[in-house]
Each structure stands twice: as C-alpha cells, then as structure tokens.
Structure 1
Amino acid sequence: MGEVIIRTSAAHRSSLSASVSYEAVDMGARTIASARDFAADFLTAVPTAGGDPVPQERVDLVRLVVSELVTNAVRHAPGPCRVLLEWFEDALDISVADRLETAPVARPPDPLRIGQHGLEIVVAVCESVTVEPQLSGKRVRARLSLA
C-alpha cells in the first residue's frame, strides 16, 4: 500500500516520506481507519532527533488530522485520494490529495452545529493548513509540530 522513501529536500536536509493511495472503490469508513493506522505506523518507524519515540499525544493528534482530512475526501470528492506524510526534524506535513477542485472552507466555531467541524479542528491543532491546486483536484497540506 504505502512506501517509505528517503529523499533530500530542496533545502538539502534529509526527510522521510511515505504515501498511500486509495482507489475510488475503496473509499469509505475502512479508508479512513486505514489512513489513521498508516500514519501511526509511519510515526513509529521514524527516527527522532533524540532517539525517543514520538509522544503518544502527538501520534493521537496526527491520527485525528489524517482522519478529518481523509473523511473530507471520502465524503466530498469523487474518485481516489492519496495521503502523503513528510517528516521533518520537528514537524510532520500531512497532505491529502483528491479529485475535487473546490477548496474546503473552515466554518466559524458553532457549539450548536452538529458535524462539519473537521477542518475547524485541523486548523486549531496544526501550525498551518494550505490548499494547493493540482492538475485534477487539490491537495490539502497541514503541518503539525511533533515536539
């Protein structure tokens, strides 16, 4: 499913990345769970600067962000999606690419609203969230500190 690749970024610092793609026929609740597990497995495999594992609190936040971004792709975008994780010294970039060209919009906080809080949550816990247009669709990228 996914593959771990060691690459050098444009800034000449080493990073690790892993990606997994889900076909349109696979989209659904199992896709969301699989993507969460994929992210947690990736974090257990990466070497931290101090040699310590990524704190469980951070792993849980990564799982939450992946879950929310993939849920948006499953519910709103036609076709397949791709999850890309990019490890940098103290942060993780989480990207989800899908075929829907329309950018998601975070709604203002509303404690009375049931549902549709996903992007609001992602924006609240991440250092940055960007939407990048792609040839056919978009990529939502969220950066989460792991320190």
Structure 2
Amino acid sequence: MTIPPRNPPTEELSWTLTHSGGVLGRVRATVRDALGGWGRPPDRADDVVQVVSELVGNVLRHTHGEAELTLSPTPDGVEIAVGDHARDLLVLQRPANGDGGYGLCLLDMLTTTWSVEQHEAGKHVRARIRR
C-alpha cells in the first residue's frame, strides 16, 4: 500500500491496495488519520473504518487483483469507493448461519446509501456515510 502525502481536507485520497500481510490494519489506520485531518467527528470514524474494512477485505479475500480505495469528503460526510477487477455482482442476502456473509447487511446498516457500478474491467462499490 502506498500512502499518498496528506492532502488538504477538501481533496479525495486514493490508494492502490495489493494482497500483502497487514494491509487491512494499515488501511484502517490511514482512514482514521484521513478522517481526523478532515475534521470529521471521531464517533463517525468507526462506521467509516468498518465499511472500508469490509469492502477492502472482500476484494482481497475474493479476488486476485488489486483493490482501488478512494475516500472523499462530502459536505455532509464521507464517500467511500472500492474498485476491483472481478465482474461478480454483490447480492444483499440474509445469511443462514454464522460462517460469514454479513458484509452487505453491515454495509446496508452503516451507510446512508450504497451502490455497485459494473464496468468492463470489474466493478466499484460506492457508499456514503453522513456525519
């Protein structure tokens, strides 16, 4: 993971993430740092970090390529975008057992809105969280 220099609070931040040990921990810390730099309330940071962790974790767990993470400040919160090179669509479902599958339910609960945009090279999942 290459961490860009700190940008002014009005600019989005983007990272290319690879399958490497400890990447999710570094992503969580970097997202918290970015939110603090933007002056976002700490009580909302947990939700943003959880959503980012879930989306990036799914890409790293279920694909072999890189993940693209973009974090953008909005007037009323934060927008998260995670792209990958897999064309599989995401389907919101209620898991039947405790072996996982709760990611999209969590995404649905913690975000104001979310969507999946499919493109030729894969997809982007976008989510917004209000302050």
Q: Which has the larger radius of gyration?
A: 1
Cα distance in structure 2, aligned partners of 1:58 and 1:96: 19
Q: When the two structures are aligned, how many residues end up with a matched partner?
A: 129
**Structure 1 residue ranges (4+ consecutive) displaced by more than 6 angstroms after TM superposition:** none
1:36 Cα offset (Å): 1.3
Partner of 2:60: 74
Are the counterparts in 1 of residues 83 and 125 from structure 2 also a CA contact under 8 Å?
Answer: yes
More displaced stretch, 54-63 vs 92-101: 54-63
Partner of 1:43: 35
Partner of 2:11: 16
CA deviation map 1:38-75 (0-9, x unaligned): 211110111xxxxxx42222011111001100111011
Structure 2 spans left out of the alignment, 5+ residues: none
Cα distance in structure 1, aligned partners of 2:75 and 2:13: 15
* 1:143 is aligned to 2:128: yes
Partner of 1:50: none
TM-score (norm 2): 0.87
* 1:2 is aligned to 2:3: yes
RMSD: 2.0
Among all aligned residue pairs of Structure 1 and Structure 2, give the percentage whose two residues are the same amino acid: 28
TM-score (norm 1): 0.78
Partner of 1:101: 87
Partner of 1:132: 117
Cα distance in structure 2, aligned partners of 1:29 and 1:121: 24
1:28 Cα offset (Å): 5.0
Partner of 1:122: 107
Are the counterparts in 1 of residues 36 and 42 from structure 2 also a CA contact under 8 Å?
Answer: no
Structure 1 spans left out of the alignment, 5+ residues: 7-13, 47-52
